[in-house]
């Protein structure tokens, strides 16, 4: 399996603002000046490649969208705003035919990219929506009511098929075995476990385990999450900020410490943290990643790799 991240933010798209852009430019210029002072012959490309990721790359502001390919199967988890660029990329690659969408939940940040997903407008393409919601089609149609969007869902020229399941069910997409699980979230979010001969990837971007339920959930969910080669999971807050958001009813998103502890207990080989807080600039997210690695050193040094999810990252499983 090949996994690529097209959107990693939670709640709402967050474009890079001018203040953050200018601050990044200043750091880039300072780094370049130091490099050229030591070696005036360095090419601009060499200087760029010598910069830390915090300068030369961005986390990205698109909401959740993940591409999974296995042999000739094409799977998407989350149709957030990242789906727009994914759609253009699919067109450029000539991807057509059957596309499988694993619906994690139908909050805005998980479906708002669909009306801008060009393959959905192409005759001959078949979009398979797999979800734990019997009214999933109604939910997508409601988003494209004429009061909100000029193109009705049923006017799109691809074929759209909705496949409902009960959380806990399993099914196959080609050689990929898909297992499903209801997870702790106000919107009844679904996590997906994808198993192939080459490895296991688990996707739970909307998982949120409050501290008073943590130990209970670690045990209850172990059979589903255990021993994943890749675990993609939400990790949005420091513990205190997460508690505040949870108590106000705004979010169930996990604190980074909670996510790391879960991943360690479930023996994940690699944890990819996504669903980043819209209020957080890249430097804030990098600070949270430092807290995650501190937690790893405290509870399980050397047992797992931690990756801060960013747009454009790819992984092989």
Residues of the chain predicted below pLDDT 70 = 185-187, 210-211, 239-253
Q: pLDDT tens digit string along 121-180?
A: 999 999 999 999 999 999 999 999 999 999 999 999 999 999 999 999 999 999 999 999
Q: Which two tokens stand for residue 296?
A: 């790893």
Closest CA to 276 of 298, 296, 300, 292: 292
* CATH assignment, 2-15+57-316: 3.60.15.10
- Residue 185's pLDDT is 63
pTM as predicted:
0.93
Q: Are 7 and 312 in contact (CB under 8 A)?
A: no
Whole-angstrom CA distances from 94 to 88, 89, 97, 125, 199 are 10, 9, 10, 11, 27
Between CA 251 and CA 204 the distance in angstroms is 15
pLDDT of residue 210: 66
Mention every residue, 6+ apart, whose C-beta is less than 8 A from residue 25: none
Alpha carbons 287 and 293: distance in angstroms, whole number: 10
Among residues 314, 309, 315, 316, the alpha carbon closest in space to that of 60 is found at: 309
């Amino acid at each position: 399996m090949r996994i690529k991240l097209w959107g990693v933010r939670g709640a709402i798209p967050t474009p890079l603002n001018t203040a953050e852009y200018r601050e990044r430019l200043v750091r880039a210029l300072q780094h370049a000046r130091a490099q050229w002072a030591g070696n005036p012959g360095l090419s601009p490309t060499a200087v760029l490649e010598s910069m830390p990721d915090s300068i030369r790359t961005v986390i990205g502001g698109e909401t959740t969208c993940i591409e999974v390919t296995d042999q000739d199967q094409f799977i998407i988890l989350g149709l957030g705003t990242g789906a727009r660029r994914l759609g253009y990329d699919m067109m450029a690659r000539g991807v057509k035919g059957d596309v499988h969408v694993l619906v994690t939940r139908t909050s805005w940040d998980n479906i708002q990219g669909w009306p801008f997903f060009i393959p959905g407008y192409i005759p001959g393409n078949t979009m398979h929506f797999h979800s734990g919601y019997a009214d999933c089609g109604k939910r997508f149609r409601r988003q494209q009511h004429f009061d909100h969007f000029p193109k009705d869902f049923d006017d799109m020229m691809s074929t759209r098929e909705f496949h409902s399941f009960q959380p806990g069910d399993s099914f196959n997409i080609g050689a990929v075995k898909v297992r499903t699980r209801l997870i702790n979230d106000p919107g009844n979010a679904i996590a997906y476990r994808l198993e192939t001969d080459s490895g296991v990837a688990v996707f739970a971007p909307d998982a949120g385990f409050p501290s008073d339920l943590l130990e209970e959930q670690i045990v209850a969910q172990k059979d589903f999450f255990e021993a994943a080669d890749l675990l993609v999971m939400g990790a949005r807050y420091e513990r205190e900020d997460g508690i505040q958001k949870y108590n106000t009813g705004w979010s169930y998103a996990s604190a980074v410490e909670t996510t790391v502890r879960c991943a360690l207990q479930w023996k994940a080989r690699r944890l990819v943290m996504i669903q980043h807080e819209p209020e957080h600039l890249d430097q804030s997210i990098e600070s949270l990643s430092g807290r995650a690695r501190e937690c790893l050193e405290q509870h399980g040094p050397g047992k797992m790799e931690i990756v801060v999810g960013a747009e454009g990252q790819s992984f092989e499983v």
